[in-house]
Structure 1
């Protein structure tokens, strides 16, 4: 997988999403609601955020990345104007992590990000550091 280091703009996006995560997490709702926050930055530098939305029926739960993408689209941005995405997770008591950390998108979110912009830059943890990869590179065997 071809990766690159984070830019100062990526670092700024990451810090903003971390602040959102820390502000919105609710450890007492659904056993830990909104533990993931995501941000999508557009070509003009605008940032749209979203949080994970747990539900009593698992299929109704929504990841943070789609809520961030949907927010940008609802505000008038086109799919090809979505430039960068990052998601972070809050360290719950039953997690090994002790601080907010970057998390890679799950399988369905990888599909969604690649559907909306194959070239979207996605921040992921690689070998102990945060790196940037193209959304399509997160799906190496995608055939459609």
Structure 2
């Protein structure tokens, strides 16, 4: 089985929270990977210590696809109203790629969505294996509409 030869990208992380989130996302996508269907999994940690998982669901019409982070956010909100603290996403390699799973940052749409529902959430980034960083720092000019009052974002 190919999943047995792909190393877990959480191994190099020193932050235990980040390591656990990355590992949960990796194990999910390793077990659920399907070429051209499911390539990324995400894990969201809530303030009660629970981890909620989401799976990227691709579609023939790209705009209909659902990101793993959106799935994890939805799963979290179905399970709890606790504050959401952190998120990590892992992309599993295609069979034609080197067998290396990698941590991926949320896309722009997911950054907006996560910050709408968890303005203080932190994220695992591939180039910083020491600590989670505030997601707001990756989206310094977040859109603020008029649907509901938005709490001020803090930037690093």
TM-score range, shorter chain: 0.7 to 0.9
Measured after TM superposition, the shift of residue 34 of structure 1 is 1.1
2:53 to 44, 49, 69: 49
Q: CA RMSD in A?
A: 1.9
Asked if 1:13 corresponds to 2:17, the answer is no
Where in structure 1 do 4 or more consecutive aligned residues deviate above 2 Å?
A: 141-144
Q: What are the superposed Cα offsets for residues 39-81 of structure 1, whole Å, 9 maximum, x if unpaired?
A: 0010011011010001112221100000000001011324xx1
CA distance in 2, matches of 1:50, 1:66: 7
Task: Report how far residue 126 of structure 1 moved.
Answer: 2.2
User: What are the equivalent positions in structure 2 for 1:1-144 lying under 5 Å apart?
Assistant: 7-27=15-35, 32-78=36-82, 81-93=83-95, 95=97, 98-126=99-127, 129=129, 131-142=131-142, 144=144
Matched residue of 2:34: which SS? Answer: coil
TM-score under structure 1 normalisation?
A: 0.82
Note the C-alpha offset of 1:137. Answer: 0.9
Distance in 1, matches of 2:143 and 2:68, equals: 26
Distance in 1 separating the partners of 2:104 and 2:130: 9
Higher normalized strand content (fraction of residues): 1
Structure 1: stretches of 5+ with no match in the other structure: none
* Separation of aligned partners in 2, 1:16 and 1:72: 14
- Give structure 2 stretches of 5+ with no counterpart: 1-12, 145-156
Question: Distance between the aligned counterparts of 1:126 and 1:132, measured in 2?
Answer: 11
Partner of 2:3: none
Q: Which has the larger radius of gyration?
A: 2
Report the count of equivalent residues: 132
Q: Does 53-62 or 41-50 show the bigger shift?
A: 53-62
